[in-house]
């Protein structure tokens, strides 16, 4: 196998203009002496409890010897922010106690990655609560890369040692990039060795490097020598990706009905073995993905069939405007409420990947037809899915385009032969 060091990605975070917002904990003034004492280690004992399956918060606190009136006051204070019944298994509760008496003085209930309810015991006043929001900063991340032989965009980004992003963030970024291009390219098959990309995205990042929100501002993908620009433009009413001429990237149909990352992550290499083979009269495209992966409607339409159909197994068929139909086969199950006559929106979940019918592994078999004639869903010319930028918005669009292109210009394109920089392959998985 040739080297996987296919990619050079750079991340230059925290542009000056990107330091836009910084969320401070919702802290009331006047607490300073109390706060200082929280961290005076010798004065307190700290313990962390995890909510077990089927356990209530009262149980957990009872385990921690918080009972009676103290317990009910504490639950009452928590209820200001969250019903104790809504808490999930695995939730972490940190209790800080006075070293001398062992009495609890501070209880922190970590609701999720972004917020914690902090309950503190105050003499006279009883338990008081407030919510601490994890601080985030808005920054801009620049990424560039080139695909090496035998690699995929997914693996190129995931295995890059120099990319200063946690794995979950990389996956989310790749998934988002694939969605930007989902109407133009099938990343699982169309991306070739030598293809290059660069992009700038804005994110609201937590201290651990994960993002609460992210949006690709501008991207450029070179596929087989052809350049695909993508610019995010929004004016409050419309919002979406456009090419440099103001044409929407959106078409009436997605090129494939699943999340790219779910297709790719199931296989070590882009050119995975076609599990599926091509049988006589095969009129669709197969996408291998783990059982249970969500299958999305390729376009707006109406459900015309839901049920079992011979070798296709569990099938959903949709009818679309303009004489188009799409079909999705081998589903493990249908989305709830799927029945003939029901309307569906592009991107709506209609079922889940499986291997019902004649299938040797979990995959979705996808067909696109026009007036009954099968089309190649990955290459067919498709009707547009959104209008181009209107004349009235042209000026604003050009302005954003110029500004974002400047942003992109800060990232030099990935070099033509970076893929050949010799370095041992990182993964040893072969076909
Ligand atoms: Zn098939």
Domains of the chain, residue spans: 44-133, 137-250+386-409, 262-375
279 Cα to the center of ligand 1, angstroms? 8
Report d(CA 431, CA 32) in Å as an integer: 61
pLDDT of residue 87: 86
Structure tokens at 379: 């290459």
DSSP label at residue 42: G
Nearest to 327 by CA among 289, 345, 362, 301: 301
Structure tokens at 103: 């009495």
HSE toward the beta carbon, residue 229, CA cutoff 13 A = 14
Report d(CA 156, CA 261) in Å as an integer: 12
For residue range 201-219, list pLDDT tens digits in order.
998 888 777 788 889 999 9
284 Cα to the center of ligand 1, angstroms? 5
For residue range 108-159, list pLDDT tens digits in order.
998 888 889 999 988 777 888 888 888 888 888 888 888 887 778 888 888 8
* CATH number, domain 137-250+386-409, options 3.10.450.350, 3.40.50.300, 3.30.160.110, 3.40.50.80: 3.10.450.350
374 Cα to the center of ligand 1, angstroms? 13
Helix (H, G, I), strand (E, B) or coil at 203: strand
Report d(CA 112, CA 289) in Å as an integer: 29
- The CA R_g of the chain, rounded to the nearest whole Å, is 26
356 Cα to the center of ligand 1, angstroms? 12
Helix (H, G, I), strand (E, B) or coil at 265: coil
297 Cα to the center of ligand 1, angstroms? 17
264 Cα to the center of ligand 1, angstroms? 17
Look at the pTM and tell me if it is higher than 0.85: no
277 Cα to the center of ligand 1, angstroms? 8
Report d(CA 159, CA 165) in Å as an integer: 11
Fold classification of 44-133 (topology level) = Nuclear Transport Factor 2; Chain: A, (3.10.450)
Nearest to 257 by CA among 335, 337, 196: 335
310 Cα to the center of ligand 1, angstroms? 13
357 Cα to the center of ligand 1, angstroms? 11
370 Cα to the center of ligand 1, angstroms? 18
384 Cα to the center of ligand 1, angstroms? 26
300 Cα to the center of ligand 1, angstroms? 22
CB proximity list for 292: less than 8 A, separation 6 or greater: 332, 352, 353, 354
259 Cα to the center of ligand 1, angstroms? 18
Helix (H, G, I), strand (E, B) or coil at 295: strand
373 Cα to the center of ligand 1, angstroms? 16
Residue 291 in this model has a pLDDT that exceeds 90: yes
Classify domain 262-375 at the CATH superfamily level.
Glucose Permease (Domain IIA) (2.70.70.10)
Are domains 44-133 and 137-250+386-409 of this chain identical in fold?
yes
Please state the φ and ψ torsions of residue 50, each to the nearest 5 degrees: -115, 135
For residue range 18-62, list pLDDT tens digits in order.
332 233 333 333 333 333 334 444 567 889 999 999 898 999 999
């Amino acid at each position: 196998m040739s080297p996987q060091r296919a990619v050079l990605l750079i991340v230059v975070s925290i542009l000056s203009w990107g330091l836009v917002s910084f969320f401070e904990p919702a802290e009331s003034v006047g607490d300073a002496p109390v706060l200082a004492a929280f961290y005076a280690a010798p004065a307190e004992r700290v313990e962390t409890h995890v909510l077990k399956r089927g356990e209530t918060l009262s149980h957990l606190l009872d385990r921690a010897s918080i009972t009676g009136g103290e317990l009910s006051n504490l639950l009452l204070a928590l209820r200001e922010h969250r019903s104790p019944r809504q808490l999930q298994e695995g939730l972490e509760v940190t209790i800080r106690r006075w070293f001398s008496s062992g009495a609890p003085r501070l209880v922190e209930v970590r609701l999720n990655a972004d917020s914690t309810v902090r309950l503190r015991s105050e003499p006279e006043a009883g338990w008081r609560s407030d919510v601490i929001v994890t601080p985030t900063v808005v920054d801009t991340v620049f990424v560039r890369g080139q695909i090496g032989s035998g690699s995929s965009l997914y693996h190129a980004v995931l295995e890059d040692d120099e990319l200063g992003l946690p794995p979950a963030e990389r996956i989310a970024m790749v998934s988002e990039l694939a969605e930007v291009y989902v109407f133009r390219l099938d990343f699982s098959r169309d991306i070739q060795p030598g293809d290059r990309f660069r992009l700038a995205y804005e994110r609201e990042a937590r201290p651990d490097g994960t993002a609460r929100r992210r949006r690709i501002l501008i991207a450029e993908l070179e596929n087989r020598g052809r350049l695909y620009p993508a610019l995010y433009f929004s004016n409050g009413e419309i919002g979406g990706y456009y090419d440099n001429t103001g044409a929407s990237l959106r078409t009436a149909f997605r090129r494939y009905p699943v999340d790219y990352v779910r297709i790719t992550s199931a296989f070590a290499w882009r050119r995975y073995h076609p599990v599926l083979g091509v049988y006589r009269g095969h009129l669709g495209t197969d996408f291998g993905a783990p059982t249970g992966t969500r299958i999305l409607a390729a376009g707006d339409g109406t459900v015309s069939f839901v049920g079992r159909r011979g070798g296709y197994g569990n099938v959903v068929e949709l009818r679309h405007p303009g004489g188009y139909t799409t079909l999705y086969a081998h589903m493990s199950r249908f989305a709830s409420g799927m029945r003939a006559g029901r309307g569906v929106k592009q991107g709506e979940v209609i079922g889940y990947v499986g291997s019902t019918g004649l299938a040797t592994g979990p995959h979705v078999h996808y067909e696109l037809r026009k007036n009954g004639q099968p089309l190649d869903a990955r290459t067919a010319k498709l009707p547009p899915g959104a209008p181009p930028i209107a004349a009235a918005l042209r000026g604003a669009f050009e302005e954003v385009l110029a500004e974002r292109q400047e942003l992109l210009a800060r990232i030099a394109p990935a070099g033509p032969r970076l893929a050949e920089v010799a370095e041992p392959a990182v993964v040893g998985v072969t076909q």
